[in-house]
Amino acid sequence: MNVTVRLAQQPEADALLGRSPLAVLVGMLLDQQVPMEWAFSGPYTIAHRMGGDDLDAHAIAAQDPEAFATLLSEKPAVHRYPGSMAKRIQQLCAYLVHEYDGDAEALWRDAGSGRELLRRLQALPGYGKQKAQILTALLGKQYGVAPDGWREAAGAYGEDGSRRSVADITGPETLTEVRAFKQEAKAAAKTAKASGAAGAQGKTGQKAKKTA
């Protein structure tokens, strides 16, 4: 695997993401409750602190849990919640060692369909359906991993020209567009929730009046 990506917005971190399947998996795992570029810079930071130029699933899985958590907690921390994410990364790597002999790329190398790829990604520790769909879209749009039906498997994240997720980030401009989309979606969800709550209160009030 050797592609050019701009997910972390840092040359060294993006170079690692462009050549290391495990770095992509770890970056995707970290992509929650922190800015996207912070999450995808994490794999490079971990590799650097472990004294290497890439991540190794066997080495990470074999790390002492407390020592690995400390490594992620060093300033600047790899994540807002370095302790819990250290545990999740080790669980991910242990799964890869057990199921794929530590070969992260084997997850998609022979996936015969988008549905199969999505199923494999959903089986990863720390990956739910949404995260698996976003990674399916990222692999298809930027890494050339495009088994039949990958866009359908990725759902809305697979749409051509969308600005929904990290799968659509190719530079600072698209990062801004994706971030704006997420903020708008969050605001819309908040408004819908508030409207629903207000409607429920109104119905409760009407029912109380009828009872009285």
| Res 210: pLDDT | 60
Q: Output phi, psi for 141, to 5 deg.
A: -80, -35
**Amino acid at position 47, single letter:** A
Question: In Å, what is the CA distance from 9 to each residue of 36, 37, 135?
Answer: 10, 6, 18
b or e along 94-132 (b: 16 or more beta carbons within 10 Å of the residue's beta carbon)? bbbbeeeebebbebbeebeebbbbbebbbebebbeeebb
**Confidence (pLDDT) at 211:** 56
Q: Is the dihedral of CA 170, 50, 59, 64 positive or negative?
A: negative
Distance CA 201, CA 209 (A): 12
Best CA proximity match to 136, nearest among 23, 24, 43: 24
CA 201 to chain centre: 37
pLDDT in tens, 2-57: 999 999 999 999 999 999 999 999 999 999 999 999 999 999 999 999 999 999 99
Query: What is the separation, in whole angstroms, between the first and last Cα of the chain?
Result: 71
Instruction: Tell me phi and psi for residue 6, to 5 degrees.
Output: -135, 55
Give pLDDT tens digits for 96-153.
Answer: 999 999 999 999 999 999 999 999 999 999 999 999 999 999 999 999 999 999 999 9
pTM of the predicted structure, to 2 decimals: 0.88
Q: Could you tell me the maximum CA-CA distance found in the chain, to the nearest angstrom?
A: 73
Of 132, 73, 85, the C-alpha closest to 107 is 132
Tens of pLDDT, residue by residue over 144-200, are 999 999 999 999 999 999 999 999 999 999 999 999 998 898 888 888 888 776 666
pLDDT for res 51: 96
- For residue 159, what is the DSSP state? S
Q: Please report the pLDDT score of residue 208 as a whole number.
A: 55
User: What pLDDT sits at residue 193?
Assistant: 83
Cα distance between residue 173 and residue 212, in whole Å: 59
Which amino acid is located at 165 in the chain? S
CA distances in angstroms from 146 to 50, 56, 85, 97, listed in the order given: 32, 25, 29, 24
